[in-house]
Structure 1
Amino acid sequence: NNKRGGVQVHYAHRIVTARKNRGSIQSITLESYSPDKKATRLVNAKMFLDCTYEGDLMARAGVSYTVGREDNQTYGETYNGVQLLDKHQFVDGVDPYKIPGDPKSGLLWGISPAALQPIGSGNKQVQTYNFRLCLSSNPANMIPITKPAGYDSTRYELLLRAIEKNPKLQFNTILSPDRMPNQKTDINNSGPFSTDMIGMNYEYPDGSYDRRADIQRQHELYTKGLLYFIGHDPRMRPDIRAEMLKLGYPKDEYTDNGNWSPQMYVREARRLVGAYVMTQANCQGRTTVTDGVGMAAYTMDSHNCQRIVIEKNGMKMVKNEGDVQIGGFPPYPISYRCLIPKVGECENLLVPVCLSASHIAYGSIRMEPVFMVLAQSSAVAACLAIDAKTSVQAVDVKQVQAELKTNPLADGSTPEILVDNDDADHVTRTGNWTRENNPKGAYGPSYFTANGADQAVKSVRFSPAITTVGTYQIYVYFPKFAEASGQTTLIVSDGSQARIILVREADIRVEGQTSGEWVSLGAFSLSPGKANYVDVSTKDANGVVVADAVLFVPAAR
């Protein structure tokens, strides 16, 4: 918070140059790109953090970085490089030519003439970008989707062919409109032809600001054209058209940018090649670092990188290449060393976003909450380096970890207390509970389940280590669970008295892509040394009860 920290924030600026001396950045020059104010600003500092999606300071500082996909052999991986898999893919037999069956007619828009390279081979192709779309289904808050300037319906011919070849494709599998509060959506890419503008972003990572702006404009035109095409082209299947016409641009969002997001989804651009490189082995737990300063918890995920023609059973057909979705592993630590350059390259730079990871490992790390954690960890390390008058490479990582643990909010306030079901020191079970490993929707690597239909009452007790007397808001995490009991009995004790709370499944609202919901149990006065606890019980349950995590949030911050 810039007000709490007294930080002066300068918006609408971007880096022009970085001046280094003896292995350290001395200053950077920024330019304003506000239309009504062109000016430069010189910034001198002891430490620098590059938190951009593109790694622009990192590149100008002259440290090692890479773009694209490594060969599998580079880091002993199996899901890097070229991958022709089955997700977000065309079914067999979709003709790639303008005139079906006639190669001389040329390829449809969006298909590359490049040949498929060996599986696992590396190249400089970048996983595709798109816009995450906030649309509205509320007629009173909706701006109709109209034909954008520069619209070309031939760009979307492949979508018609994909639907014709695979009638199972529906509106919800073409645009994936996750429902959000206030009758709005979060629409992401879905299926063989969607909002991802495949193969059109290769020049973006190292491109000039003008070139990047042009690429973003092309993505915007493509996406607005796609929405218009789905809703208005007479060749589109009527049921799909009808669903599209229920949505429009929201009147109350992005009001200073034509009701359109100003931020293109730059999934991956430059990546530091630093003191340590996170790889597939880290994601899957074959290698675990001890200098972790954040946790990653997403699948190894890459969107497609190119759209090409292959031959199968003597037939030419279009396929997407590059999509990878491999999960099934628990959260894992991210090394401090992947945030810093190699020794000798730069002593006062940390890179928490375009960090040092292989393409496929970056696909697991690249979530905004993780970037936020790594940025805070980087800031802590930068402060320690300043205080010790040393380099970021010489920082004692144990000090960073200790500061993050004891002062997680960075302001000295009493931190939240999270008790997860895997916390053996603070969780006890009564009765027969099953530990479900890596289930979808769990908070952390697992949760406990018990059948409430059994006569014997079973419970899981979550006992927080309260160190500061005060009032705490208590929340219990409920993951999405098809067989969940219609009600769950919870018992909250403040050490003096116990209170029974009944949570009904029907009252828990889980919206959008959220995997579960924190349900408030209310505010309770808790003190150190007392028997403070929350019991999750099967009493009066009529289905499966899940015990996952409990959060204690100090009311006074």
Structure 2
Amino acid sequence: MSALHYHLPSEHTLNLTLKRDLCIYGGNSGGIAAAVAARRLGLSVVVLEPGRHLGGMTAGGLSLTDIGNKHAIGGVSREFYRRVGRHYGVPEHWRFEPHAAEQTYLDWVAEEGIEVHYGSFLAAVEVRDRDIVRLWTESGVEVQARCFIDCSYEGDLMAAAGVSFTIGRESNSAYGETLNGAQVRNKHQFELPVDPYVVEGDSASGLLPGIEPGEPVIGRGDRRVQAYNFRLCLSRNPENQRPFEKPEGYDRGRYELFARYLRAGYVPVFNKFDALVNDKVDMNNHGAFSTDFIGGNHAFLTASYAGREEIFQRHVAHVKGLLWFWKQDPEVPREFQEPFQNWGWAKDEFVDCGGFPHSLYVREGRRLVGDVVMTEHHCTGAERIEDSVGLAAYTMDSHNCRRFVRDGKVLNEGDVQVHSGPPYPISYRALIPRRGECGNLFVPFGLSASHIAFGSIRMEPVFMLLAESCVHAALLAIRGGVDVQDVPYEKLRDELLNAGQVLDPNINAADPQSGE
């Protein structure tokens, strides 16, 4: 079993120079979808993947697909779910095992002849006359390309290219929204009063770990991003289990807040133990204190790779420590602890990491600020755009961003879960920099959207379909010798429809998939 890392320096320096039509930074779900589309369109393409695995979160534990409405998913994105369905002998599959998803991507890459370089963390970018000319990776790969797609969850390439972006939450006043900025709501909230101080009742003793001083102003913006965690694949089959073990450096004090919540009368439940196949579940965050490492990620996006590695390891420690706490701590109620003993790591998943996922769930990174910013108003249908390159359909969703104290009790802040309504179109102009900025860059994940609109758009199937749409636009830009801002939308629309993309929100809405 190898060590678990966010950033693992490359073992070899390649000193390799590549000239391609298209360079894709990030071999996650969107990156592979883009590469498949590019190869089929006859473009030369290279994928630079910083990690050691393909598929990002889709192959990294996010196995219960957040769909919104599966009829809104077309093109290469829909093809992925049909391909993984073949693994199980069904037409398509949306609740798959992580290893099945990764193998699907690996087979796809081999079938299409896609060039992938692993361990390729971005080192530098050269921009000339507002275009990216080339980039370099820490592993010694130089890529010169005609167009670039930033498929990273973090938005590292667009930041290096110098385009306009933002981090965190806008105030409601920025775009006339109601669900942006600080929010204190009832979901994933402390349902019972819990004392926040190191010495209960003594504010002078300081706050327990993970609690911030000061109260939020509802609707006010800041640079906080919603909490990260890991999506865990657990098994209850004794023949396919690795036991949860006490993690090195386990600090029971990190869970004192949860212990107090239990003493107040809270009993954990097995919500978000979502069934997959073969006696496995996709375990996600649930409740006031769970696998989300609330407040532990705010420095992540601006940190160096070494700094991100430290933050990554703190997230690992939080999750492993929590599972150990659940398993053996006497504060945990028997009605939860005893059945929890039946669970363990799935032995046949993430085998090089001892069953623990290799992908940190970076739910929110940098976000482009383009000529169109998708907002709450687009999600609800109050505003419509006319240059659709795909549909989104998920709830306006944000996980909690911090913990604070009100009237001597701890509360969570930042969780929002508000239904957005029917599927709605995403603007092409939200995927590209402002006119006058970079003319050969696309950003399909960290697209131009407010915090709360991004929370609806950010789902993996949508990421894949937007990445494919970027490739069709790149082909038109290359053929026409124009900036991405000057790609004629009518031609792009025709190309996307021919590729099976769904652009019209007036689709057959039967069988909507709930926001699971």
State the TM-score, normalizing by the size of structure 1.
Answer: 0.71
Aligned to 1:90: 190
Distance 2:297 2:437 in 1: 28
Are positions 1:126 and 2:233 aligned together? no
Pick one of 160, 170, 186 that aligns with 2:282: 186
Cα 1:199/1:418, change in 2 over 3 Å: closer
Aligned partners of 2:110, 2:134: CA distance in 1, in Å? 25
Q: Find the counterpart in structure 1 of residue 38 from structure 2.
A: none
Matches within 5 A, 1:118-517: 118-167=217-266, 169-173=267-271, 176-311=272-407, 316-408=408-500, 445=509, 447=510
Cα distance in 2 between the residues matched to 1:199 and 1:170: 22
Select 1:112's aligned residue among 208, 212, 231.
212
| Distance across 2 between alignment mates of 1:117 and 1:105 | 22
Aligned to 1:431: none
SS state at 1:378 partner: helix
Cα drift, residue 200 of structure 1: 0.7
Q: Which amino acid aligns with 2:224?
A: Q
Q: Is 2:130 the partner of 1:23?
A: yes
Query: Deviation of residue 62 (structure 1)?
Result: 0.3
Deviations 1:444-498 (A, max 9, x none): 64x4xxxxxxxxxxxxxxxxxxxxxxxxxxxxx6x78xxxxxxxxxxxxxxxxxx
Question: Aligned partners of 2:138 and 2:354: how far apart in 1?
Answer: 25
TM-aligned CA distance change 1:292 to 1:95, over 3 Å? same
Q: Measured at CA, do residues 418 and 108 of structure 1 come closer, stay the same or move farther in structure 2, by a change above 3 Å?
A: closer
Gapped regions of structure 2 (runs ≥ 5): 1-107
Aligned to 2:114: 7
- Give the deviation of 1:267 after TM superposition: 0.2
- For the 8 Å contact 1:162–1:192, the answer to whether it is kept is no
Aligned mates of 1:275, 1:377 — CA distance in 2: 18
1:291·1:397 contact (CA, 8 Å) conserved in 2?
A: yes
Classify 1:418/1:379 alpha carbon distance in 2 versus 1 (closer, same or farther; 3 Å).
closer
Is contact 1:23-1:344 (8 Å) kept?
A: yes
**Alignment partners' CA distance in 1, 2:426 and 2:226:** 22
Question: Which of 131, 140, 160 pairs up with 1:60?
Answer: 160
Cα deviation, residue 160, structure 1: 2.1
Contact 1:299 1:326 in 2 (8 A): yes
Secondary structure (helix, strand or coil) at the match of 2:232 reads: coil
The structural deviation recorded for 1:418 is 13
Task: Select between 73-82 and 233-242 the one with higher mean Cα deviation.
Answer: 233-242
SS of the counterpart of 2:235?
Answer: coil
Find the residue that maps to 2:490 and give its secondary structure.
helix
Amino-acid identity (%): 48
Per-residue deviation, 1:210: 1.1
Distance in 2, Cα, partners of 1:308 & 1:154 = 18
Verify the 8 A CA contact 2:347 2:354 in the aligned structure 1: no
Q: CA deviation at 1:18?
A: 0.8
Which letter does structure 2 place at the counterpart of 1:170?
A: P
Greater share of helix residues, 1 or 2? 2
Given that residues 295 and 334 in structure 1 are in contact (C-alpha distance below 8 angstroms), is that contact kept between their aligned partners in structure 2? yes
Corresponding residue SS for 1:10:
strand
Structure 1 gaps, min length 5: 33-39, 410-416, 424-443, 448-476, 481-512, 516-557
Deviation at 1:165, TM superposition (A): 2.7
CA distance in 2, matches of 1:165, 1:235: 11
CA RMSD of aligned residues (A): 2.0
- The equivalent position to 1:76 in structure 2, one of 176, 196, 213, is 176
SS at match of 1:216: helix
2:72 maps to what in 1?
A: none
Paired residues of 1:341 and 1:349 also in contact (CA < 8 A)? yes
What is the CA-CA distance between 1:269 and the residue it aligns to?
1.1
Native 8 Å contact 2:388 2:503 kept in 1: no
Deviations along 1:426-448, one digit per CA (max 9) or x if unpaired, are: xxxxxxxxxxxxxxxxxx64x4x
**CA distance, structure 1, for counterparts of residue 179 and residue 334 of structure 2:** 39
How many positions carry a matched residue from both structures? 409
Matched residues in 2 for 1:237 and 1:399: separation? 61
How big is the shift at 1:116? 1.3
TM-superposed CA distance for 1:328, in Å, is 4.7
Moved more, 78-87 or 89-98: 89-98
Question: Which residue identity is paired with 1:274?
Answer: G
Give the residue type in structure 2 aligned to 1:216. Answer: F
**Corresponding residue number in structure 2 for 1:432:** none
* Offset of residue 159 of structure 1: 1.5
Relative contact order higher in (CA < 8 Å, ≥ 6 apart): 2
Q: 1:328 to 1:418 in 2, by over 3 A?
A: closer
Tell me if 1:47 matches 2:143: no
- In the superposition, the TM-score normalised over structure 2's length comes to 0.76
Structure 1 or 2: larger strand share?
Answer: 1
What letter corresponds to residue 457 of structure 2 in structure 1?
I
Contact 1:273–1:341 (CA<8 Å) still a contact in 2? yes
CA-to-aligned-CA distance 1:344-399 (integer Å, 9 cap, x gap): 11000000011000000000000010000000000000010000000000001121
Distance of 1:68 and 1:365 partners within structure 2: 16
Distance 1:328 1:55, change over 3 A: closer
Report SS of the residue matched to 1:234.
coil
Contact 2:379/2:420, CA 8 A, preserved across alignment: no
Matched residues in 1 for 2:288 and 2:515: separation?
24
Per-residue CA distance 1:78-128 (angstroms, 9 max, x = gap): 100010111100125211112221212222222112x11311001011111
Is the 1:227–1:244 contact (alpha carbons within 8 Å) kept by the matching residues of 2? no
Amino acid at match of 2:447: L
Contact 1:171–1:243 (CA under 8 A) maintained in structure 2: no
- SS of 2:184 mapped into structure 1: coil
Aligned to 1:440: none
Larger Rg: 1
Q: Displacement of 1:5 after TM fit?
A: 3.6
